[in-house]
Amino acid sequence: MTEIDSSQDTRSGAPARSRSSKPAPTIYDIAELAGVNPSTVSRALSKPGRISAKTEKLIQDAAKTLNYRVNPMARALPTGRTMTLGLIIADITNPMFFDVVRGAERAARESGYTLIIAESQESGEREAATAERVAPSVDGMILVTTRLADEQIADLAELRPLVVINRRIDGVDAIVPDLEPGIDQALTHLAELGHRSIGYLYGPSGSWMSSARWEALLAKSVELGMSIVEIGPGIPTLEGGRASMTRVAASGVSAVVAYNDLMAIGLLRAAQEKGLRVPGDLSIVGFDDIFGSDFTSPPLSTIRTPLALIGTLAVRRMLERIAADDRRPAHGSRGKAPAISTELVVRGSTGPAGA
């Protein structure tokens, strides 16, 4: 009756990941199989050249035999690199998000990074909390349709390298498309169709992007001698577009540019239900060219934003920064205009004024 026998239990604190399954092989297993030291295995696997070709091959073979995969968690601990990027999105319901994800996921994967998706919905408080929760497990964060205040965003930027999409903030890296070309084309297009007076369906009241679009539209319409009015703000959904119908009708404009495609489509349908012909009685231009915007009848004319490209560029910028081990925004990029261009896609929802 020995009272002390616990000493032989060498793996007492083992994870016991899941019953009935062998634990994943480690570099120690490889080391044993290959007859070398674990540190040699580590080097052979992650620092090609540091080890003699002979031993390296030996280790590679052993690794293959055991079907070894490096444990990213274990690696992240000493290196501080998680090889993971976080995509924080306020509202996952917004379809523009999906195109961004497409671009971002691919760019990340090509560089060996993994993408974490987190939705924060609701208020800014919640979004900040989400970002802080995600921060420790990622090397950088990309904010997609953020509702945070500038200052909160700056705070987050202290925590981890940060890139913001569709919003410009002092001292924070941003990926923002160049609105000019698309808006120039859209207003010129409308002018050529004889529209003299147009409306802008404003998005959410605090939205940086909505006012950026408004500013650009305003400048251009002045230049073209057109009159333009703000209608809104409104929520950036089908419902929001619908809800603006009364005000649009009351405004007497012959054409409307909406903050985004969702609002444009909502308006389109509400107009049609009211008996208005589109584009006969009202021309409508959307923004973004989201999936499905060409499903409508008439198909929606819209100012395309290269969302997938934006996602890709956001990841690239992030990775550049990480590679440079830099917490500050890219070089002198703050003033540099992005080469991400918008363009008008003419479909069926725009036509001659008063036709």
Partner DNA sequence: GCACGTTTGGCAACCGATTGACAGATGGAT
Partner DNA sequence: ATCCATCTGTCAATCGGTTGCCAAACGTGC
Site residues (vs its own copies, CB under 8 A):
13, 15-21, 24, 69-74, 76-80, 82, 84, 92-93, 95, 98, 101-102, 105-106, 109, 114-119, 132-137, 158, 161, 265, 291-293, 295-297, 325-328
Of 30 and 87, the one with the shorter C-beta distance to DNA is: 30
> Would you give the binding string for DNA spanning residues 24-63, x where CB under 7 A is met?
xxxxx-------xxxxx-xx-xxx--xxx-xxx-------
Nearest approach, Cβ of residue 44 and DNA (Å): 7
> Would you give the binding string for DNA spanning residues 132-161, x where CB under 7 A is met?
------------------------------
Of 253 and 315, the one with the shorter C-beta distance to its own copies is: 315
Tokens of 108: 């990340």
The binder of 8, among its own copies, DNA, none, by C-beta within 5 to 8 A per type, is none
Three-state SS at 114 = strand
CB atoms within 10 A of CB 93: 11
Quote the CA–CA distance of 203 and 212 in Å, as a whole number.
Answer: 11
Q: How many CA atoms lie within 13 A of 288 on its CB side?
A: 26
Q: How far is CA 266 from CA 142, 162, 201, 233, in A?
A: 29, 34, 11, 15
Nearest approach, Cβ of residue 15 and its own copies (Å): 3
Of 119 and 178, the one with the shorter C-beta distance to its own copies is: 119
**Residues 6 or more apart whose Cβ sits within 8 Å of residue 308:** 99, 100, 102, 103
Residue 77, Cβ density class (10 Å: 0-12 exposed, 13-18 middle, ≥19 buried):
exposed
- Give the torsion sign (CA, 42, 46, 48, 49): negative
323 binds DNA (CB under 7 A): no
Quote the CA–CA distance of 302 and 300 in Å, as a whole number.
Answer: 6
23 binds DNA (CB under 7 A): yes
- Exactly one of 20, 65, 67, 77 binds DNA (CB under 7 A); that residue is 77
> Which of 80, 94, 259, 107 has its CA nearest to residue 175?
107
The binder of 109, among its own copies, DNA, none, by C-beta within 5 to 8 A per type, is its own copies
The binder of 116, among DNA, its own copies, none, by C-beta within 5 to 8 A per type, is its own copies
Of 209 and 265, the one with the shorter C-beta distance to its own copies is: 265
Identity of the amino acid at 115:
L
Of 118 and 218, the one with the shorter C-beta distance to its own copies is: 118
Of 142 and 187, the one with the shorter C-beta distance to its own copies is: 142
Tokens of 10: 């060498």
Nearest approach, Cβ of residue 88 and its own copies (Å): 11
The stretch among 3-11, 177-185, 231-239, 245-253 that binds DNA (CB under 7 A) is 3-11
DSSP symbols for 16-41: --STTSPPPP-HHHHHHHHTS-HHHH
The binder of 265, among its own copies, DNA, none, by C-beta within 5 to 8 A per type, is its own copies
Of 137 and 333, the one with the shorter C-beta distance to DNA is: 137
| Residue 325 Rama label (left phi>0; alpha psi -120 to 50; beta) | left
Nearest approach, Cβ of residue 252 and its own copies (Å): 27
The binder of 229, among its own copies, DNA, none, by C-beta within 5 to 8 A per type, is none
Tokens of 8: 């032989």
Quote the CA–CA distance of 322 and 84 in Å, as a whole number.
Answer: 11
Of 5 and 325, the one with the shorter C-beta distance to its own copies is: 325
Of 11 and 336, the one with the shorter C-beta distance to DNA is: 11
Tokens of 113: 């990074």
Q: Which residues on neighbouring strands pair with residue 85, listed in sequence order?
A: 115, 140
Q: How far does Cα 203 stand from its chain's mean position? A: 19
Residues engaged in binding DNA (CB under 7 A): 4, 6, 10-15, 23-28, 36-40, 42-43, 45-47, 50-52, 54-56, 68, 70-71, 74-75, 77-79
